């Protein structure tokens, strides 16, 4: 086999390996976009978030740490910790409330979860009120975005 053929095979093999790694690491998280429900009208004041399984058991929970920016935009973050119902479950949640140039207010809640039961249904509860439901990917992960802005 010539040197050129060996190099070409090496390059092709490395490319295929890289594709497999990318697919295995993060290729199947479900990205779900939904409208922000009216129950979360005052997103800048939220305190707690829970992820509950179909039976209503809390599997992840967290408290938001809120920050008001100099331009009066509000951002918040919460680390979602397991409750014992699913010891390796993990996630995070973020809120953002920002005033647009036209005076409108954009509100967004993002939730990312991993290591939950694969293909299972869960509910997102903010300050005790249900905000959304979602189903995890075959790897037990999901990314959920709730917004008062239309998806585009």
Domain boundaries, the chain: 30-147
Please give the model's pTM, rounded to 2 decimal places. Answer: 0.78
pLDDT attached to residue 116: 96
Flag whether pLDDT at 129 surpasses 90.
Answer: yes
Average pLDDT, the chain: 85
pLDDT in tens, 39-93: 888 999 999 999 999 999 999 999 999 999 988 899 999 999 999 888 999 999 9
Q: Quick one: what percent of the chain has pLDDT higher than 70?
A: 80
pLDDT at 145 over 80: yes
Phi/psi zone of residue 101: left (φ > 0), alpha (ψ -120 to 50 degrees), beta? alpha
Q: Note the pLDDT tens digit of each residue in 36-47.
A: 998 888 999 999
């Amino acid at each position: 086999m010539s040197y050129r053929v060996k190099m070409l095979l090496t390059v092709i093999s490395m490319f295929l390996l890289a594709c497999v790694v990318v697919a295995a690491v993060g290729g199947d998280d479900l990205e779900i976009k939904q409208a922000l429900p009216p129950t979360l009208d005052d997103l800048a004041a939220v305190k707690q978030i829970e992820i509950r399984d179909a039976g209503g058991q809390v599997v992840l929970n967290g408290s938001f740490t809120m920050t008001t920016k100099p331009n009066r935009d509000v951002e918040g973050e919460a680390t979602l910790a397991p409750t014992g119902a699913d010891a390796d479950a993990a996630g995070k949640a973020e809120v953002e409330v920002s005033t647009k140039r036209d005076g409108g207010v954009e509100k967004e809640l993002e939730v990312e979860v991993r290591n939950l039961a694969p293909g299972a249904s869960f509910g997102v509860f903010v300050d005790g009120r249900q905000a959304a439901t979602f189903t995890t990917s075959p790897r037990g992960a999901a990314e959920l975005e709730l917004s008062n802005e239309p998806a585009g």
